[in-house]
Amino acid sequence: MQQLTLFSESTPVLPVSYYPDFLTQELANELYQHCLKLEWQQNQIRIAGKTMPVPRLECIYGDAGCDYLYSNSVFLKPLTWTEPLSNLRDRITALTSYKFRIVIGNQYRTGMDSIGWHADNEQSMGINPAIASVSLGSCRKFQIKPRNGKATDFWLEHGSLLVMHPGCQSTHLHQVPKTNKVVSTRINLTFRPHIGGR
């Protein structure tokens, strides 16, 4: 499998690995169709005292009790794993040895849906979580940068896997910016650990 590694102990460029062809096109198409039928919702987020809709749809599946709170305002309660999602989780663990207890889905309906600069550093994932991100559907730009550093752009393709290794969330921020280009739906699945609590 083709892998682009931007992670090395001696010359740490970026603490991520990218597998453009993690899934065959056939499997990626099947998964995309499955994911469209998941329980998507548009949550509300509170930022600087203001409540507003999250600019994308979200869903969460995972182990019972692995509740997830982010930005101190969006509370996600996992639904039971579907078979395709748990199979995908197991494939990623077989490749990376990282273990996951939840998957959070993001659905970007148009170029106006996005996620701003952030790190996934919620306490419920423990210290230095590894996060694995599968992309399905339209290709969108994903940017990652050291805190206060320069951004690197990735184009996350249908069927690709991006792994953010332990430490990445402490040193780097990432985002999927809005775009004026005409793009159709993209689904992203982020597999995450969970240590209990919220």
Nearer Cβ to ligand AKG (81/122): 122
Residue of 73, 190, 184, 181 whose CA lies nearest to 125: 190
Identify which of residues 124 and 190 has a Cβ nearer to ligand AKG in the complex.
190
Instruction: Return the number of other C-beta atoms located less than 10 Å from residue 50's C-beta.
Output: 7
Site for ligand AKG, rule CB under 6 A:
104, 106, 115, 120, 133, 142, 156, 174, 176, 188, 190
- Shortest spacing between CB 175 and ligand AKG, in angstroms: 7
Instruction: Output 9 or 53, the one with its CB closest to ligand AKG.
Output: 53
Distances (CA, A) of 157 to 2, 123, 140, 186: 13, 30, 8, 10
The tokens describing 73, both together, are 């305002």
Nearer to ligand AKG, 4 or 10 (CB): 4
Q: Least separation, in Å, of the C-beta of 12 and ligand AKG?
A: 20
Which residue's Cβ has the minimum distance to ligand AKG?
188
| Nearest distance in Å: CB 150, ligand AKG | 19
End-to-end, the C-alpha distance of the chain in Å comes to 36
Q: How far is the CB of 66 from ligand AKG (least distance, A)?
A: 15
Distance in angstroms (rounded) separating the CA atoms of residues 138 and 92 = 21
Least Cα distance to 14 among 187, 182, 152, 180 occurs for: 152
